[in-house]
Amino acid sequence: MSDYDVIVIGAGPGGYTAALQTAKNGLKTAVIEKDSLGGVCLNVGCIPSKSLLKNAELARTLRKDAKTFGISCDNLNMDYSSAVERSRKVSKRLNQGVAYLLKNAGVDVYFGKAEFTDDHTLHIFMNDGSEKDMTADAIIIACGTKPVEIPGMLPDGEKILNYRQAILQTSLPKRVVIIGGGAIGVEFATILNGYGAAVTIVEMQSHLLPNEDAEAGAELERSFKKQGIKVKTGTALCGVDKTDEGVVVHLKQDEKESTVEADQVVIVVGFRSNAPELGLEKAGVSLTARGWVETDEMCRTSVSHIYAIGDAAGKVLLAHTAEAMGRLAGDLIAGKAPAPLRYDLMPHATYSHPQVASFGYTEESAKAAGIAYKTAKAGFIANGKALGLGENEGWVKLLCDAETNAIIGTVLVGPEVSELLPELSLAAMHNLTAVDIARNVHAHPTLSEVIMEAAMELG
């Protein structure tokens, strides 16, 4: 007889959600976490970064736009360490909340590192130095990822930083180079620029946010340059030299080499799975060539009673995707029949200034898939709510199937556009058309009116 019905490896957004779901379904559940409840997202990722972004928004307004709002800021003093302290308090509060939820649900929590010894047994190296074996009828892998490290440019926490070190440091660098123009890179650029740091962001691909619509990346680049952020796209990192003053970053663009001097370089170029560290071969669980756990549409691995969710599965590396996968796996193990997830409709949100949000097909991916589509755009430039906020840059672009007019994707650039996604992704999930969106009355004045205006062009 097993020790538990379900053991979850990892207590990030996917792991603790899965554990709560299996416990809710009446299954005896345990969670094994080697670090902190809530995982990267809650402790050193999406939650503290949003706190810092709010501080940066206030700092940017007072530094650059105070006169626009009739505010005088003589002798303005901004304490970056206080912003970081606030972000830590936010994370701590949510960490404690996760602990309460797990305890209240009757989930046993063990702090340590898990390794498989067979397909039902885990050997736990406890953080207190002890070791123990635990068995379960079903196991959920939710072990997350770690940052990709570049040989010869390993982070030291002082002059070369990864995202974890950058989000925890309490001092503001005067000059910083950010390597990687994905979501994390542009959010760090937004934070540091808001506080007045001189920021250069370097991206190897042709536009910022390379996994997003190219037009959105170009729009964000234009806005960044207006804010004083230097952007170098189509540029490769060749090396980093440490100096007494900071770093010299060596770059190459179109065979032309250049250097940038800075106090620090922050490297955020991607992630790799922690799954290869779990001894999965002893359980018979298959990995992809890149180290992700192979799963089917229902999160099952090559071993039917072992599941993988969240970043470990490598499908969509976002916290809300992990949570959705956790709920699905938790219900499936309990004998329920949940519907498969639509990964193509998962929302993507980047909390830069301005924000970028999307789901579904981009124009590039629709063309690659041979899908006939049509688009419509509407801008925030004349939107009453955006003008009132003093943030009327950006636009909404809708993609619809050329024949049915059903919404198949969207990308938005502008103020708080992450909050506008659910209307559109819900419409896509239920095969609604641009006509349906256009007929839905949107409150005035709201940012969402821009969605209605774009839909009217297609309706």
Q: 187-209, pLDDT tens digit by residue?
A: 999 999 999 999 999 999 999 99
Q: Domain extents for the chain?
A: 4-51+82-147+272-343, 160-269, 354-458
pLDDT confidence tier of residue 268, bands split at 50, 70 and 90: very high
Q: 43-54, pLDDT tens digit by residue?
A: 999 999 999 999
Residue 126 has pLDDT above 90, yes or no: yes
CA dist list (Å): 8 to 114, 218, 291, 333, 391: 10, 41, 19, 12, 43
What strands, in cross-sheet order, belong to the sheet with 175-179?
A: 160-161, 264-267, 175-179, 198-203, 230-233
Beta strands in 142-255 (DSSP E): 145-147, 160-161, 175-179, 198-203, 230-233, 236-242, 247-253
Query: Could you give the angle at the alpha carbon of 399 between the alpha carbons of 398 and 404, nearest 5°?
Result: 120
Residue 459 has pLDDT above 90, yes or no: no
The mean pLDDT value for 64-86 works out to: 92
Measured CA to CA, the distance from residue 266 to residue 202 in angstroms comes to: 10
For residues 24 and 105, is the Cβ–Cβ distance under 8 A?
yes
The mean pLDDT value for 285-290 works out to: 95
- Cis previous bond, 13, omega within 30: no
* Domain 4-51+82-147+272-343 superfamily per CATH: FAD/NAD(P)-binding domain (3.50.50.60)
Beta strands in 92-174 (DSSP E): 108-118, 121-126, 131-141, 145-147, 160-161
> Same CATH topology for 4-51+82-147+272-343 and 160-269?
yes
Please state the separation of Cα 393 from the chain's center in Å: 23
Q: What percent of the chain has pLDDT over 70?
A: 100
Residue range 354-458 forms a domain whose CATH class is alpha beta
For residues 201 and 172, is the Cβ–Cβ distance under 8 A?
no
Q: Please report the pLDDT score of residue 201 as a whole number.
A: 98
Measured CA to CA, the distance from residue 147 to residue 216 in angstroms comes to: 25
Q: 19-33, pLDDT tens digit by residue?
A: 999 999 999 999 999
For residues 154 and 48, is the Cβ–Cβ distance under 8 A?
no
- Kind and range of the H or E element at 356? strand 355-360
Tell me the average pLDDT of the chain.
96
Tokens of 115: 């390794």
Q: Please report the pLDDT score of residue 1 as a whole number.
A: 86
The mean pLDDT value for 419-425 works out to: 96
The mean pLDDT value for 65-81 works out to: 91
Cβ neighbours, 10 Å, residue 250: 15
Looking up tokens 């970043």, which residue turns up?
A: 311
Measured CA to CA, the distance from residue 373 to residue 219 in angstroms comes to: 22
Question: What are all long-range contacts of 324-327, with beta carbons under 8 Å and residues at least 24 apart?
Answer: 325/14, 325/18, 325/299, 326/13, 326/14, 326/15, 326/16, 326/17, 326/18, 326/19, 326/21, 326/140, 326/142, 327/17, 327/18, 327/21
Is 442 one of the catalytic residues? no
Measured CA to CA, the distance from residue 155 to residue 19 in angstroms comes to: 33
- Give the count of alpha carbons within 13 A of 41, CB side only: 22
Residue 74 has pLDDT above 90, yes or no: no
Measured CA to CA, the distance from residue 200 to residue 240 in angstroms comes to: 14
Which residue of the set 305, 348, 442, 444 is catalytic? Answer: 444
Residue 72 has pLDDT above 80, yes or no: yes
Q: 4-13, pLDDT tens digit by residue?
A: 999 999 999 9
Residue 75 has pLDDT above 90, yes or no: no
Q: 208-267, pLDDT tens digit by residue?
A: 999 999 999 999 999 999 999 999 999 999 999 999 999 999 999 999 999 999 999 999
Measured CA to CA, the distance from residue 317 to residue 9 in angstroms comes to: 17
CA dist list (Å): 175 to 183, 203, 265, 281: 20, 17, 9, 45
Cβ neighbours, 10 Å, residue 64: 14
Pick the CATH number of 160-269 from 3.50.50.60, 1.10.1200.120, 1.10.3720.10, 1.10.287.130: 3.50.50.60
